[in-house]
Structure 1
């Protein structure tokens, strides 16, 4: 069977056809950030406390009616409780002074029966202040983000069909399905766009009986579980994609808590992604895939672990470590799109990538609730994300290497590439010829 890259070499690498496809794909991605990260501001929780009606109270009782609570080592006004209004009103009318004549710890408390008062220092309103998604209703705040990401998950099925109409089908995939004539038409169209002359017959031996048998074989998501090699690779990739998506959206949605000004926080978080994508491009050019992914996952995971060790007064160091974690996870996300595509043969490449992205959407749905773990222990979200990153780094060690190797076009070629499970272990008794063969795959 012909080598696809050699047959289509006459097209060139960066002609008008490739450029138009590239920029169409970029245009389809641009709106995503506006939708996803507007949640940072739309669902942010302003400072709030129980609303105190306009009644006749002394100034001392107005200031003391909201009890103080210890939150993450700081004394703050309670967000969900106040001293009973009727009791406070009587004490104020009798001239008692809070803290002197009255021990506030002995006063009975009640919930925010009159609603809440929200700070307008940053936002005029958010969905939290509009619908009182605080205290007993606070679970609805992360749920709104989860509903959004569930919509993204469902919408991905329809956007895939749309892309088949914003992009031309892959000739390589068409050939794997035995649709030689359609593949030739697309390549000839690309040649016309690139202003080069295409051969009269491009794929002259893709209609062999062996290729027809493979093309007629139906592949689905269950094909990723058919053999042990493919199944193990699929499971590891799903774990890594889940970790990266959970970490990326978890840290992104947490940006409003990094700094007193959430807009500055969001800018810092977005700016970190620029060097992250540059780093991923350099890594794809010069580093083995497995080494790059393992290193970047460890960098992200370890930096998130260290946040809990930072002294309370060094908040900027905590922000720096969190942004290093975001840098690592963002870089890893970019790497995995390429790494995943390189591991699977043409007949399974789209299916495998689609499965991994679907699993990653599950991680994004969980991310808003993961942040709520800070209510039990401030650093629990960072510990959870760091643990996932370290475990994923260890699992990635068992993936095959694909750097500098031709893309597998058949399942058999994928099996040959995956013979050696661990890069640090060589089987005893393996012949010299087999080692040379595997090194060339």
Structure 2
């Protein structure tokens, strides 16, 4: 019995229409590159200090002494969260006209009872200056991003089910509308709580849109270009969106105008509805035979090939509509000793990957140099990272490539603390290299995990791993938040965890040049370092090529 790929082999794999769909679906990912990362500029903390009411009868000299000086990061600067008691200052100003003649260390301090004044040097406004998310409320800024990632977690859970039920195309454009609509509404948030609610909903739309585009593309493009689609296509357009964010933010310094301007780009994708078809595979699974056949004939026409008079025989139609098979669930990931060991290793590795990837992105404002240039360079680093991933997936062993890139990325981050304080640019460069390594590792992890699990639990295995990464992304804002208190602490923690995950990966079996397992009994066994290494070398030497069998399942990275 022929499967779908055999039945539609007459379409070819690299026809003009395949590349057309490749480009359009990759283009639809462009807004995802900046959708979740706007908090870098929208939620950045401007320079600030306590507001001193303008109705005080104080000389300029005494006004300058109302804010205490504190030591922060090896330099003396005005306190951001306290001031000297104004009633005492008023009495002192009357007694000591010369402010320098009095030792201010004896004056009691108080919090910023009248609010704060914010520097306009870099931003006209951010959500921090809008709702005073500083001092006792500084925890709200990283929580804003964590809530977005909670939305991503929820979207990851439901996007696959929605796509299977309502169709890839409807979910793709429906979630794109959700993402665009709530981005626009977020501009009108009356308070921080409503802003976070919209952030949650945007997170749901962002990841659901990404997953739908990936699945639809995987089912429409030819088998031989699926790896390129998930790396060179989706990955690079995501990176281009990431690079686009600082370019727009540089010219628009108001958080409301920035969000509104970026949300308008979603409207440009409305015409794609008439150019991107539904997945014929999904239509066949729902018994919509005529619609599926019409799309297949359209693809044949666009590719310049003549379809057969009868595409599906009656017997094949019955087979394509599905068979009664045993169902598998989450518990099957831990039922056997081997699946349990692989799952127990996979979950923390994926969580650490997300902590490192998003933690570095969100730590961008804490780095030396221009925030906009640093953000652009971080986005640009993803392009060679995805190109490298595409090259690595063709021939190199999965386990040692993944472990090596994790070791490289984590090692670079861990040793940033040794950089002399007079070389801050070197810290930024090393951070860039660290993110480059972690980005490659994140992209490889999708392919490697899909190859570790058999067909019967592959989606479940990749799905649970992805859920673990979402948990990592939820706590990642607080890793970057630690940089406010200690410059190198985020790098020490993220670097140490990433090196630890590189060691964990070495316990996993190799999968290159080994046929994809269909059943749990066919899975590779965990044998330890020596057994795994010899197994890897044997298959590299004697195995057959697996390029066309490689599965890459890539969701949002941002």
Give the TM interval when normalised to the shorter protein. 0.7 to 0.9
* Residue segments in structure 2 that go unaligned for 5+ positions in a row: 173-215, 224-279, 547-558
Q: Name 2:82's counterpart in structure 1.
A: 81
Bigger radius of gyration among the two: 1
Q: Secondary structure at the match of 2:33?
A: helix
Where does residue 352 of structure 1 map in the other structure? 461
Q: CA deviation at 1:390?
A: 0.8
1:283, 1:7 → 2: CA distance?
31
Tell me what 1:116 maps to. Answer: 116
DSSP-derived class of the 1:120 partner: coil
Q: Which deviates more, 244-253 or 121-130? A: 244-253
Q: Deviations over 1:351-406 (max 9, x none)?
A: 22221111111111111112222345332211111111111111111112122332
The residue number in structure 1 matching 2:416 is: 307
What TM-score results when the alignment is normalised by the length of structure 2? 0.68
> In the aligned structure 2, how far is the partner of 1:184 from the partner of 1:220?
33
Higher helix share: 2
Per the alignment, residue 70 of structure 2 pairs with 69
Structure 1 residues 104, 180: CA separation in 2 closer, same or farther (over 3 Å shift)? closer
In structure 1, how many angstroms separate the alpha carbons of the residues matched to 2:75 and 2:533?
A: 58
1:277-324 deviation line (CA, Å, top 9, x unaligned): 111111112311111111100111011111111111101000011111
State the secondary structure of the residue aligned to 2:531: coil
Secondary structure of the corresponding residue to residue 88 of structure 2: helix
The TM-score with structure 1 as length reference comes to: 0.85
| 8 Å CA contact 2:49, 2:117 repeated in 1 | yes
Superposition deviation, residue 233 in structure 1: 1.4
What is the aligned partner in structure 2 of residue 288 from structure 1? 397
Alignment-derived partner of residue 231 in structure 2 = none
SS of corresponding position for 1:110: strand
Are the aligned partners of 1:184 and 1:202 in contact in 2 as well (CA < 8 Å)? Answer: no
Q: What is the RMSD computed on CA atoms of the aligned residues? A: 3.6
1:239 deviates by 1.6
Alignment-derived partner of residue 156 in structure 1 = 156
Partner of residue 510, structure 2: 401
User: Secondary structure at 1:311's aligned position in 2?
Assistant: coil
User: Helix, strand or coil: the match of 1:113?
Assistant: coil
Q: Which range moves more in the overlay, 144-153 or 259-268?
A: 259-268
Does residue 425 in structure 1 map to residue 531 in structure 2?
yes
Listed as ranges, the gaps of 5+ residues in structure 1 are none
- Does residue 134 of the first structure (1) align with residue 240 of the second (2)? no
Separation of aligned partners in 1, 2:116 and 2:25: 46
Q: Which residue of 2 aligns with 1:193?
A: 299
Query: Quick one: distance in 2 between partners of 1:7 and 1:128?
Result: 57
How is 1:41-440 mapped onto 2 (pairs within 5 angstroms)? 41-54=41-54, 55-98=56-99, 100-160=100-160, 161-162=162-163, 164-165=168-169, 166=172, 167=216, 190=296, 193-194=299-300, 195=305, 197=307, 216-413=325-522, 415=523, 418-425=524-531
Cα distance in 1 between the residues matched to 2:4 and 2:371: 50
Distance 1:59 1:302 in 2: 51
Cα deviation for residue 30 of structure 1 reads 2.0
User: C-alpha separation between the residues in 2 aligned to 1:126 and 1:35?
Assistant: 16
Which secondary structure state, in structure 2, belongs to the residue aligned with residue 29 of structure 1? coil
Instruction: Pick closer, same or farther for the CA change 1:36–1:217 going to 2, 3 Å.
Output: same
* CA displacement at 1:58 relative to structure 2: 2.0
Cα distance per residue 1:258-280 (max 9 Å; x no partner): 24432122112111111111111
What is the CA–CA distance in structure 2 between the aligned matches of 1:180 and 1:152, rounded to whole Å?
28
Note the alpha carbon deviations across 1:47-78, whole angstroms, 9 max, x for none.
10001111222222222211111112221210
Q: CA offset at residue 192 of structure 1?
A: 6.4
Which range is displaced more, 51-60 or 111-120? Answer: 51-60
* CA separation of 1:203 and 1:439: change in aligned 2, threshold 3 A: farther
Decide whether aligned partners of structure 1 residues 255 and 403 sit closer, same or farther in structure 2, where only a CA change above 3 A counts: same
| Contact map agreement 1:253 1:368 (CA 8 A) in 2 | yes
